[in-house]
């Protein structure tokens, strides 16, 4: 089940919220847990067993760390066992196919017989809930949060359906107090509903309308330079509105349930460096990688070489987290190298002013990276790069024009206009030129309701609208 579906909008969500608010507060974690398991089982019931097993495993690890004593040698063993089990689970389901296929390619190249392995299905959302589980056991060991003795609260946290499939990557220490006590007000519910509608419009009305431009460009056998650049720019906008739209819906649903999640995006396409980009894009993941990978590796506490190594390793593993493909490793390496260069040059991740040249270069680097992110293989990626920089001057090809609709292009222009407008708002606020939240809502809300209704009609006509980040 996905948020952008009629079954969710008109059946699951109203039934869940009705039961949730009719249930006394002390039992609402059970409603969240049962509802979230039903939400997940809608995809495949059998993988719900794996989900429950991961939850039980990490709950037991947390109790073991607590009994051993925070920070003790015995607790360190519990952490090692817990994290090893989590990574082994993720490694098997997400990377076994990739490893065997890579090994078979090597074996075939030397004339040996390839290995046979039954294709392993990737459980939906496994990257997200495994990372959340890992952060829990590490935080308990560090003493950043207490091991919860209420299993239902921990299980509800791991299963929390608004963020279950594609984040944000939440941490138990940030929600523990909210499970114990949170407010439910009409104002918070209304804020959540508006945020959900905003994300729904981003996903269905904008991202899905742009998708054909990107999909067609990457499917062309011989794209022109214009085809390739338009396709790359279309995918750049599609990915942002698709993923940030999901995050908006997740945050909105959380508010409707009384939870306040962290923000996951902050106008990333106005960044003037890759360092700033990663402070604005998929914030929950970038901070997770910083706190649980980059800093434990040594961060910037060692030599200059070690700092660059840590940056590169963090981004390589971050790329691999996104998918079992060499393209994601290359994408991670690209960002890791850029981050290392920026650190060497002393580039600030929080610039005070705005310089067009820096923004253009940063955006250019981001777009180039998204090509590798979107491509299904390195061969396809390099072929697409070749088209982007051939400069044949032929304009858009007949094949590309044949599958293009004026509405798709108009929505693409609208998408970048929204990015520019929100970026301008951000810069004005940084200069102290305040745009009041009330004034912004009075401008946006009259447009939001009809756009949401139009998006629902569009969804009903198309019947299915998967999110790009579901594959991770």
Non-local (6+) Cβ contacts of 139 within 8 A are 145, 171, 172, 173
Residues 6+ apart with CB under 8 A from 124: 40, 43, 44, 47, 165, 470
Contact 199, 248 (CB under 8 A): yes
CA separation for the pair 209, 232 (Å, rounded):
15
Structure tokens at 128: 């997200």
Helix axes 172-180, 151-159, angle to 10 degrees: 120
Distance between CA atoms of 445 and 194, rounded to whole angstroms?
8
Q: Which two tokens stand for residue 8?
A: 């969710």
Measured CA to CA in angstroms, residue 227 lies from 170, 222, 385, 391, 456 at distances of: 39, 9, 11, 11, 31
**Pairwise CA distance, residues 363 & 360, whole Å:** 5
Distance, CA of 70 to CA of 65 (rounded, Å): 6
**DSSP symbol at 27:** G
Q: 289 with 135: CB under 8 angstroms?
A: no
The string of DSSP letters for 420-451 reads HHHHHHHHHHHTT----HHHHHHHHHHHHHHH
Could you confirm whether 322 is annotated as catalytic?
A: yes
- Catalytic residue, chosen from 216, 282, 322, 335, is 322
Q: Which residues are catalytic?
A: 322
């Amino acid at each position: 089940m996905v948020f952008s579906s009629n079954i969710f909008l008109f059946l699951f969500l109203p039934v869940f919220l009705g039961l949730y608010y009719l249930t006394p507060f002390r039992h609402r974690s059970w409603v969240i847990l049962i509802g979230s398991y039903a939400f997940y089982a809608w995809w495949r019931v059998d993988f719900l067993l794996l989900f429950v097993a991961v939850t039980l495993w990490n709950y037991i690890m947390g109790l073991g760390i607590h009994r051993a004593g925070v920070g003790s040698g015995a607790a360190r063993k519990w952490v090692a066992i817990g994290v090893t089990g989590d990574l082994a689970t993720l490694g098997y389901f997400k990377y076994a196919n990739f490893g065997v296929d890579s090994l078979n390619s090597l074996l075939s190249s030397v004339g040996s017989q390839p290995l046979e392995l039954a294709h392993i299905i990737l459980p939906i959302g496994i990257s997200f809930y495994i990372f959340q589980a890992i952060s829990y056991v590490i935080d308990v060991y560090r003493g950043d949060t207490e091991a919860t003795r209420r299993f239902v609260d921990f299980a509800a946290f791991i299963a929390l359906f608004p963020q279950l499939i594609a984040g944000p990557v939440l941490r138990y220490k940030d929600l523990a107090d909210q499970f114990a006590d949170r407010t439910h007000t009409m104002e918070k519910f209304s804020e959540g509903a508006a945020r959900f509608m905003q994300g729904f419009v981003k996903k269905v009305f904008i991202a899905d309308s742009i998708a054909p431009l990107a999909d067609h460009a990457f499917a062309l056998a011989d794209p022109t330079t214009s085809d390739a650049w338009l396709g790359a720019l279309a995918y750049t906008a599609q990915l942002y509105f698709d993923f940030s739209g999901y995050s908006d819906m997740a945050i909105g649903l959380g508010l409707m349930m009384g939870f306040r999640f962290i923000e996951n995006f902050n106008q990333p396409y106005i960044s003037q460096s890759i360092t700033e980009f990663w402070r604005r894009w998929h914030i929950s993941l970038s901070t997770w990688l910083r706190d649980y990978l980059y800093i434990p590796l040594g961060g910037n506490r060692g030599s200059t070489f070690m700092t660059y190594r840590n940056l590169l390793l963090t981004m390589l593993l971050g790329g691999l987290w996104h998918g079992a493909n060499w393209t994601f490793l290359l994408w991670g390496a690209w960002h890791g190298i850029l981050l290392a260069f920026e650190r060497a040059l002393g580039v600030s991740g929080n610039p005070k002013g705005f310089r067009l040249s820096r923004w253009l270069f940063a955006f250019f680097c981001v777009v180039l990276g998204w090509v590798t992110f979107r491509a299904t293989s390195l061969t396809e990626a390099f072929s697409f790069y070749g088209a982007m920089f051939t400069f044949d001057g032929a304009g858009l090809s007949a094949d590309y024009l044949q599958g293009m609709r004026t509405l798709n292009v108009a929505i693409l222009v609208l998408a970048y206009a929204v990015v520019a407008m929100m970026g301008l708002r951000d810069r004005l606020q940084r200069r102290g030129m305040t745009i009041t939240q009330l004034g912004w809502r009075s401008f946006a809300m009259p447009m939001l309701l009809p756009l949401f209704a139009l998006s629902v009609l569009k969804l009903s006509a198309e019947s299915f609208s998967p999110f790009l980040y579901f594959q991770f």
